[in-house]
Chains A and B, each alone.
Chain A
Amino acid sequence: NAGVTQTPKFRILKIGQSMTLQCAQDMNHNYMYWYRQDPGMGLKLIYYSVGAGITDKGEVPNGYNVSRSTTEDFPLRLELAAPSQTSVYFCASSYSGLRGSEELFFGEGSRLTVL
């Protein structure tokens, strides 16, 4: 059972470079999310999607973009990387159902360092 798969697990970027974090889930979940985790700050929502073709901003969307062309995939694009984007990124998904009641299923995380 793959669940939520994120790639890459580690990446070092130079300031100004761009990259895409990949996320795929095989649980047929409609809802998908991207969070970033900074030390001592918990998880902050970057973007989320309630279904293919629908995305919306979370709490900290600046410097990021997402797309959702299929139910399974939800890539996160970093444009013009900045040191403030150094963080651990988690992709998560949940079944739509009764929104709010279902737990999130998380990927293993992607550690990004911007130098």
Chain B
Amino acid sequence: AQKVTQAQTEISVVEKEDVTLDCVYETRDTTYYLFWYKQPPSGELVFLIRRNSFDEQNEISGRYSWNFQKSTSSFNFTITASQVVDSAVYFCALNNYGQNFVFGPGTRLSVLP
């Protein structure tokens, strides 16, 4: 069975702090894809990143970085020098080829000025 766990329900940080959002997944398949989505207060869901199971390289995009470790089944998301505009709910999701997306429960990040 597929499952995504985001153990941190809510996180609050002060602007300019670094913050890491945890994502742990479960799957028996060797081919799968991991995603992160952002849901700002306006409510829409915004795609951030996709990673396939054969690519364990970390990725950096501006202040965002992602750490994928198959050994621990984790796909963590770090925001460096957080800003108020980063306040949102962040969802981690898993998709096995031929299956449907499984979403984690989300982590609500509040960045305080």
Taking Cβ atoms with an 8 Å cutoff, the residues of A that contact B are: 33, 40-45, 48, 58, 88, 90, 92, 98-109
Per-residue 0/1 for B1-45: is the Cβ within 8 Å of any A Cβ (1 yes, 0 no)?
000100001000000000000000000000111010000000111
- In the complex, the number of residue pairs spanning A and B with C-beta atoms less than 8 Å apart equals 55
| A58 and B100 form a contact (CB under 8 A) | yes
- The complex places the Cα of A108 from the Cα of B31 at a distance, in Å, of 30
Contact of A40 among B52, B96, B99, B105 (CB under 8 A): B105
- Measured as residues with beta carbon below 8 angstroms from the partner, the interface class of chain B is 20 to 34
Prevailing SS type, chain A contact patch: loop
Taking Cβ atoms with an 8 Å cutoff, the residues of B that contact A are: 4, 9, 31-33, 35, 43-45, 47, 50, 52, 91, 95-101, 103-106
A105 cross-chain contacts in B, Cβ below 8 A? 47
| B50 and A101 form a contact (CB under 8 A) | yes
With both beta carbons as reference points, the residue of chain A lying nearest to B10 in the complex is identified as: A40
With both beta carbons as reference points, the residue of chain B lying nearest to A102 in the complex is identified as: B50
A-B residue pairs in contact (CB < 8 Å), sample of 26: A40-B9, A40-B105, A40-B106, A42-B4, A42-B105, A42-B106, A45-B100, A45-B101, A58-B100, A88-B43, A92-B45, A98-B97, A99-B97, A100-B31, A100-B96, A100-B97, A100-B98, A100-B99, A101-B95, A101-B97, A102-B50, A104-B45, A104-B101, A106-B45, A108-B43, A109-B45
| B47 and A109 form a contact (CB under 8 A) | no
